[in-house]
Amino acid sequence: MSSPAPPAVAPPPTHYENFPVASWLCPPRLRPPIAAIYGFARTADDIADEGEDGPEQRLADLRAFGADLSATARGGPISGRWPEVFGPLARAMRDFALPEALLADLLSAFVQDIEKTRDGGLYADRAELLAYCSRSANPVGRLLLHLYGVDDALALTQSDAICSALQLANFWQDLSVDLPRGRLYLPLADCAAHRLAPGDVRRQPPAPEAIALVAAEVDWTRALMAQGAPLVHRLPGRIGWELRLVVQGGLRILDKIEAQGFDSFSRRPTIGAADAPLLAWRALRMRRQSTP
């Protein structure tokens, strides 16, 4: 459950993050709670995806992780299995009143990933996929807005659009990784519209219809990002710049998918340090365009 973002302070080298963590753009006082949120999400993701455990053990571990979240929110005793997670998280929840429900939503998305893969489940349409994004990605944006004291309805809606677009960009970026693991995020209705059965998208080389399907998903994702992008002009200072870079990171991944002919079935496009100047220029251009 990761997606492109600008470089962050000391991210684990084996993961490709879906939001920047304690970056130099964040005010120093917010770096500890942001790092605590990151540690919570990253550890839950590792429980769901890493190691050799089977699905039932992963689900049991996520239930235990969720029980520790509930205990942390109420000041009760925790299991002690993840002190490096729940120690900082307890301080962040106490000092910044982080909503437990948003953190629980993230956990529910990890559980859904395991259950979907185990049961061979597929996403029927875009609405069902967005419902998943509402728990796998959108809570991150809402948690960050909470830290900055932003809670109006329009800002939350625009944040949800950006976060969902980032999650979708990650899906289309990771087709070569997810499909061998039994995860198909391409909605069945979209596959059918391109005359593809679920098994067809696993064929190599990809059929022209599969390439056209990814092109359509990229167009949809760009439109969703555009719905949320005006939020960058409403948030002052560092958070505005942080969000500009996040938006441009997601759009850059979509550009790279397009640049390789929409064939992310064969190769996973990435962004890196070489993309930083372009991302910064595009973020600056967003700033200038907002000035009358």
pLDDT of 8 reads 31
pLDDT of 118 reads 77
CB 2 within 8 A of CB 250: no
Distance CA 269, CA 255 (A): 10
pLDDT of 24 reads 56
Distance CA 162, CA 78 (A): 34
pLDDT of 161 reads 97
Architecture of domain 122-292: Orthogonal Bundle (1.10)
| Prior bond of 205 cis (ω within 30°) | yes
pTM of the entire structure?
0.89
Report the share of the chain in percent with pLDDT over 90. 74
Q: Which runs of consecutive H residues, i.e. helices, occur in the chain?
A: 31-49, 55-74, 83-96, 100-119, 126-136, 138-147, 153-173, 175-178, 188-193, 208-228, 237-259, 276-289
Q: Delimit the domains of the chain by residue range.
A: 24-121, 122-292
Nearest CA-CA partner of 85 in 45, 115, 54, 51: 45
Q: Which residues of the chain have pLDDT under 70?
A: 1-25, 287-292
pLDDT (tens digit per residue) in 157-182: 999 999 999 999 999 999 999 999 88
pLDDT (tens digit per residue) in 182-222: 889 999 999 999 999 999 999 999 999 999 999 999 999 99
pLDDT of 11 reads 31
DSSP labels, 214-244: HHHHHHHHHHHHHHHGGGGGTS-HHHHHHHH
